[in-house]
């Protein structure tokens, strides 16, 4: 598992920063360390969600610890999100720091998306106000969340009642990639209008933060449904209740652990992001066209 610091850096980064040699090296080393950190953070986030979803009867101690870990990761991501609201000068030219585009509410961003954001941030920085770039990366978070959700859905077959009208219920990672591209495009177009409220984005994903921060390991029934703004969440929550109370669970308990393992492996493979390079360039091109840089 590549949770160790010092990942090999990817080939694509060599064309960045054509300036002086030394600062480039320093920036590159910093990138690696921060990228590795972000990868690990994302892994921890995903693992925590998977565990909370899969472990139905587990000890309260374990659930509290996992929830606290999740909360910690969320807080870290939201802290990184704050500087991006300020003028773009605050952000330094590191790809991963564009996890700074991550905002409180939609912070489930796999590393490959952060990498994506990095590319886009560079192209946007000079020409687009910070607000839009934030919105842009916000759009990507939402979309990347669908990938995470898809993976979790594979894990918990009962949790498939999420509203499919937003085309987010695709179950395979590869197909969701292309749907993400198209989805992000449409969201992007909506978002470039600064007056658009964030709620226009398919917000079946807002539960991610609320879920993590208000998740009550023992007494899910005590969760107030007022926390969630949209009725299409309610079905999901009901399924989640069923999950935790184990009253009408249809998951075969024996198969769950192996699913967790296979999902994790798949997830780790997807983190390498190598198969997404063509999409990266495509999106880059689309962004340039739209922004008119």
Partner 1 sequence: MEGDGGSEFRQWCLSQVKGAIDDDVTEADIISAVEFNHSGELLATGDRGGRIVIFQQEQESKALPQSRGEYNVYSTFQSHEPEFDYLKSLEIEEKINKIRWLPQKNAAHFLLSTNDKTIKLWKISERDKRPEGYNLKEEDGRYKDPTSVTTLRVPVFQPMDLMVEASPRRVYANAHTYHINSISVNSDNETYLSADDLRINLWHLDFTDRSFNIVDIKPTNMEELTEVITASEFHPLQCNTFVYGSSKGSVRLCDMRAAALCDRHSKLFEEPEDPSARSFFSEIISSVSDVKFSHSGRYMMTRDYLTVKIWDLNMESRPVETYQVHEYLRSKLCSLYENDCIFDKFECCWSQDDSEVMTGSYNNFFRMFGRDGQPGMTLEASWESSSPRCPLRPWRVCAGSRRNDDEIGVDCLDFSRKILHTSWHPQDGIIAMATINNLYIFQEKLN
Count CA atoms within 13 Å of residue 81 on its CB side. 20
Q: To the nearest whole angstrom, how small is the minimum distance from the Cβ of residue 130 to partner 1?
A: 29
Q: Which is nearer to partner 1, 55 or 144 (CB)?
A: 55
Please report where in the chains the tokens 């991610």 appear, as a residue. Answer: 208
What's the rounded Cα separation, in Å, for the pair 289 and 281? Answer: 12
Q: To the nearest whole angstrom, how small is the minimum distance from the Cβ of residue 62 to partner 1?
A: 5
Q: Which is nearer to partner 1, 47 or 104 (CB)?
A: 47
- Judge contact between 101 and 132, C-beta under 8 A: no
b/e string for 178-200 if b means 16 or more Cβ within 10 A? ebbbebbbebbeebbeeeeeeee
> What number of helices (H) and strands (E) belong to the chain?
9, 0
Does an H or E element contain 256, and which? Answer: helix 255-272
Q: Which is nearer to partner 1, 20 or 60 (CB)?
A: 60
Interface contacts to partner 1, rule CB under 8 A? 1, 3-4, 40-41, 43-44, 47, 51, 57, 59-62, 64-65, 67-69, 72-73, 214-219, 222-223, 245-247, 264
Q: Which is nearer to partner 1, 67 or 132 (CB)?
A: 67
Q: To the nearest whole angstrom, how small is the minimum distance from the Cβ of residue 280 to partner 1?
A: 26
Q: To the nearest whole angstrom, how small is the minimum distance from the Cβ of residue 53 to partner 1?
A: 14
Q: To the nearest whole angstrom, how small is the minimum distance from the Cβ of residue 228 to partner 1?
A: 14
Instruction: Please give the full DSSP string across 40-104, using - where no structure is assigned.
Output: HHHHHHHHHHHHHHH-SS--HHHHHHHHHHHHHHHHHHHHHHGGGGS-GGGS-S-SGGGGGG--S
Rounded to 5°, the CA angle 252-254-257 comes to 110
Q: Which is nearer to partner 1, 165 or 246 (CB)?
A: 246
Q: To the nearest whole angstrom, how small is the minimum distance from the Cβ of residue 34 to partner 1?
A: 15
Q: Which is nearer to partner 1, 27 or 70 (CB)?
A: 70
Q: To the nearest whole angstrom, how small is the minimum distance from the Cβ of residue 60 to partner 1?
A: 4
Q: Which is nearer to partner 1, 207 or 215 (CB)?
A: 215
Rounded to 5°, the CA angle 101-173-200 comes to 45
- Judge contact between 41 and 47, C-beta under 8 A: no
Q: To the nearest whole angstrom, how small is the minimum distance from the Cβ of residue 219 to partner 1?
A: 4
Those residues whose C-beta lies under 8 Å from the C-beta of residue 231, and which sit 6 or more positions away, are none
Query: 254: which 2 tokens?
Result: 């024996």
Q: Which is nearer to partner 1, 43 or 251 (CB)?
A: 43
């Amino acid at each position: 598992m590549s949770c160790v610091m010092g990942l090999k850096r990817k080939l694509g980064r060599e064309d960045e920063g054509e300036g002086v040699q030394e600062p480039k090296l320093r920036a590159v080393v910093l990138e690696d360390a921060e990228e590795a950190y972000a990868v690990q953070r994302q892994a921890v986030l995903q693992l925590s969600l998977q565990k909370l979803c899969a472990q139905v009867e587990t000890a309260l101690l374990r659930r509290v610890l996992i929830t606290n870990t999740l909360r910690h990761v969320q807080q870290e991501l939201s802290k990184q999100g704050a500087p991006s609201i300020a003028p773009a000068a605050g952000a330094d030219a590191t790809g991963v720091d564009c996890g700074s585009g991550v905002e409180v509410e939609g912070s489930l961003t796999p590393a490959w998306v952060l990498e994506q954001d990095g590319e886009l941030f560079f192209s946007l920085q000079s020409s687009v106000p910070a607000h839009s770039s934030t919105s842009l990366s916000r759009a990507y978070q939402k979309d990347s969340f669908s990938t995470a959700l898809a993976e979790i859905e594979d894990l918990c077959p009962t949790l498939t009642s999420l509203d499919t009208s937003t085309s987010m219920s695709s179950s395979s990672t590869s197909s969701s990639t292309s749907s993400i591209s198209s989805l992000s495009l449409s969201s992007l177009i909506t978002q470039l209008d600064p007056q658009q409220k964030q709620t226009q984005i398919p917000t079946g994903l807002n539960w991610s933060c609320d879920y993590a921060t208000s998740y009550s390991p023992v007494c899910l029934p005590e969760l107030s449904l007022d926390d969630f703004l949209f009725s299409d969440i309610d079905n999901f929550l009901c399924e989640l209740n069923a999950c935790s109370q184990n009253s009408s669970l249809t998951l075969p308990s024996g198969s769950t652990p192996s699913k967790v393992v296979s999902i994790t492996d798949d997830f780790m493979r997807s983190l390498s992001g190598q198969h997404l390079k063509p999409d990266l360039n495509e999106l880059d091109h689309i962004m340039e066209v739209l922004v008119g840089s």
